[in-house]
Amino acid sequence: MPLSANGQANLKTHLSILRDSSERFANTAAFKIPSVESTSNGRWDTITFKQFYDDVELCARYWARQLNIRGNVPPKSVVGLWIGGYTYSDVLHIYGISKAGYIPQLFSLRLPNPTVVYELLQKAGAKALVCDNGMLSVIADRTKDSPVPIFTALSFSEISLSSESLVEEVHNSYLISEEHPVDPSECAFVFHTSGSTSGSPKLVPCNYRWLDAVARKAGQLCVPIGPNGQDVSTWIGSMCHIGQTTMLLCLMQYGTCIVQPKRFPFSPDELTAMVEHCNVNRIWQFSAFFSAHLRAARQNPDFLRLLASLDEITTCGMALPKEDQDFAYNSGMNLQEIFGSTELGGSTLISIGGKDPNTRRHLRPLTGLSYEFRPIRNTTGEDYPDLENAGYHSTNRLLEFVVLPESGDCPDTSLRNPEDGVFHTGDLFIEVGPERYIFAGRDDDWIKTENSLRCDTKSIEDNARVSCGSLISECIVIGTGRPSPVLFVESTAAGAEEKNKLKKAIWRKIRHFHIRRFIHESITSADMIIVVPLGSLPRTASKGSIRRKAVEEEYKAQLDKLYGVANL
C-alpha cells in the first residue's frame, strides 16, 4: 500500500477517488440522468466527472452551513440519511455530507418504521437526520419523536440556486481535503444489515481500511472492456445499500459512465432505450431482475439479440437459476456472476466463465484478501435438506466461507465471532477444484429476496407458532428471489371460506411483529399466507423437516400468480 510523505498509508476513499477521476476523466461522462424535460425513454442529460466533483463540493458547502454553522452539529458526527438513494441528487447529498466532515448513516426506504430508524440513530450515536420531502411527508406525525434534529434534503437544483452565497459564506476550512491522510480505523459510513435480528437490523460500521480494501477490488471486477476505452453501465440499486455504493466506488476509478434508469427495476423497453441512447455496453443487475429480462428475451428475438450484443452482463445477490444461466450462455451472452454480502462490500467471489458448461459457473475468490473455506463439522446431509447441489451432501465436502481479521474487507469487530475473531458469513460451498467452488446454500434459515436483501425465515416462523397457537399445525416461510416472503401454514381448515377466515385470523395475530421489519422481510397482508392441508408439505425422510426449496418448487405456479409473474 503506498505511503504519504509523512509515512501514513494512502488509503483510497470515495472522495479521493472522485478527485482523481475528476482530473483524469474531467470531460468524460460520469452519469447519464433522465432529462427533466422528457418523460419518454429517449432523453438523458450528461454529468461529467468534473461537474460531479464540483456539485459534490457545492453540496458539501450547503451541508456545512446547515449542519455545522447553523445547526451546531459537531464535525465527525454521524448524520443519518433517510432518502431514496436512486438519483444523482441523492449521491450528491451522501458525498456532500461526507465532504462536509460528517459520517453518513444510510437508511433504506424499505425500512418504513420511524421507531426502528430512531433506535438505530441512537445506537450509532447520530446527531442529526436528513430526510427528503417524500419521507418527511410519510413521517410527518412522528417527527417530534426523533431523538435528533431533522433536516430537509432539498433537490440539488434548489441548492444550486444559492451557489454564490454558499461559496461566500462557507470557506474551504469547513470542507474535508482529499489530500489529507485518513485514519484507517476511523468510521467512513454506517450501513445496516439487510435483514432484521431481534426486531431490528444491525449496524454495519465501515472504516477507511475497509473502504480502501473494497475500492481495490475494482481491478478484478471493473476494468473497462468497451471498444472505446470507456464502459457505460447501469445503476444497480439504492445508494443507501452497499451494492450501489461500492459499485460507484469501483467504477469511478476507470471513468465508467453510470446510467440512471427512470424506474427500478428497469423494464426491457427502458434497457433497450439506455443501450440505444446512452450506449450502455455492460450491465450489473441483481439476478432476480435479470431473470425477468430473460423471460422477456425468450419471447422477443430483438431484445434477445440486444442482450447478446452487450460486452458483459454481471449478475449478483444470489445465484442465477441454472436454466437461466444455460439459456443466457447458449444465446451468446457474456455472463459473469458475483457472490458477496453487505458486510464485505458486495463482492468476494467471481465466476470463472468460459465456454465449458461444466465449469463456467464455478466461483473463485478475489485475490489479495484473507479468506478461508472451513469444513462444517458434526452435520449430515439431513441438516441441509435444500442445498442447491444435492449430489454433494457428504459432510466432509461442506465448507463455510469465513473472512480472517487481517483481510482488509473484514467487517467491524462488532460483527465478528467473539470466540475466534473471524467473520462467519454462514455461506456454504463445495470445493470442486483448486480454488474453485460452488455455492451450496446457508447454514441458517436466512434467504435472499428479489433485490438480494436478506430475510430471517425462522424468526417469522417462530413468531407465527407462538402467536397463533392451535390455529396452525406447522408452518414454513419461503420467498427466495421474490419481492417479499410468504407464510405457508398446515391446517385442518377446508374450503375457501374457512381458509380465508383462518388467514385473516393469523394475520391479525402476527401483524404487530411485522410492523418493525423491512418491507422485503415482512408478511405484508393476509394474501401472503397460504393454507394447505395437514401434513401435505414436502418433508425430509428421517427427521420430517419441511423442505423449504421443495415447497417453492411444488407451489411455483401458485406463487407466480400471487406475485404477478408472467408465465412466458
Mean pLDDT of the chain: 90
Task: Give residue 200's pLDDT band: very low, low, confident or very high (50, 70, 90).
Answer: confident
* Strand positions, DSSP E, 2-65: 29-34, 44-48
- Of 301-310, 314-323, 334-343, 534-543, give the lowest mean pLDDT range: 534-543
> With 50 as the cut, is the pLDDT of residue 6 above it?
no
- Of 194-208, 234-248, 411-425, 476-490, give the lowest mean pLDDT range: 194-208
Q: What angle do CA 488, 489, 495 make, to 5 degrees?
A: 105
> With 70 as the cut, is the pLDDT of residue 8 above it?
no
> With 90 as the cut, is the pLDDT of residue 317 above it?
no
**Amino acid 454: pLDDT:** 85
pLDDT more than 90, % of the chain: 74
How confident is the model over 54-60, as a mean pLDDT?
98
How confident is the model over 246-253, as a mean pLDDT?
96
> With 50 as the cut, is the pLDDT of residue 463 above it?
yes
Cβ pair 320, 337 in contact under 8 A? yes
- Of 122-126, 411-415, 441-445, give the lowest mean pLDDT range: 441-445
> With 60 as the cut, is the pLDDT of residue 464 above it?
yes
Task: Give residue 447's pLDDT band: very low, low, confident or very high (50, 70, 90).
Answer: confident
pLDDT in tens, 88-115: 999 999 999 999 999 999 998 888 889 9
**Amino acid 40: pLDDT:** 55
pLDDT in tens, 467-489: 998 899 899 999 998 999 999 99
What are the distances in angstroms from CA 542 to CA 132, 369, 383?
54, 41, 10
More confident residue, 244 or 376: 244
More confident residue, 24 or 473: 24
More confident residue, 358 or 379: 358
pLDDT in tens, 498-551: 999 999 999 999 999 998 898 999 999 999 999 999 999 998 876 778 988 899
**Amino acid 493: pLDDT:** 86
> With 60 as the cut, is the pLDDT of residue 164 above it?
yes
Task: Give residue 451's pLDDT band: very low, low, confident or very high (50, 70, 90).
Answer: confident
* Strand positions, DSSP E, 471-528: 474-478, 486-491
Cβ pair 481, 449 in contact under 8 A? yes
Cis bond before residue 265 (omega within 30° of 0): yes
What are the distances in angstroms from CA 61 to CA 57, 93, 98, 320, 563?
6, 11, 11, 44, 45
More confident residue, 8 or 58: 58
> With 80 as the cut, is the pLDDT of residue 427 above it?
yes
> With 50 as the cut, is the pLDDT of residue 238 above it?
yes
| Neighbouring residues of 353: CB distance < 8 A, sequence distance ≥ 6 | 334, 335, 336, 360
How confident is the model over 315-334, as a mean pLDDT?
92
Task: Give residue 199's pLDDT band: very low, low, confident or very high (50, 70, 90).
Answer: confident
> With 80 as the cut, is the pLDDT of residue 38 above it?
no
Task: Give residue 565's pLDDT band: very low, low, confident or very high (50, 70, 90).
Answer: confident
Sheet holding 474-478, edge to edge: 474-478, 486-491, 529-533
Cβ pair 222, 254 in contact under 8 A? yes
For residue 507, give the nearest of 491, 486, 484, 521 by alpha carbon: 486
> With 60 as the cut, is the pLDDT of residue 254 above it?
yes
Task: Give residue 389's pLDDT band: very low, low, confident or very high (50, 70, 90).
Answer: very low
> With 50 as the cut, is the pLDDT of residue 378 above it?
yes
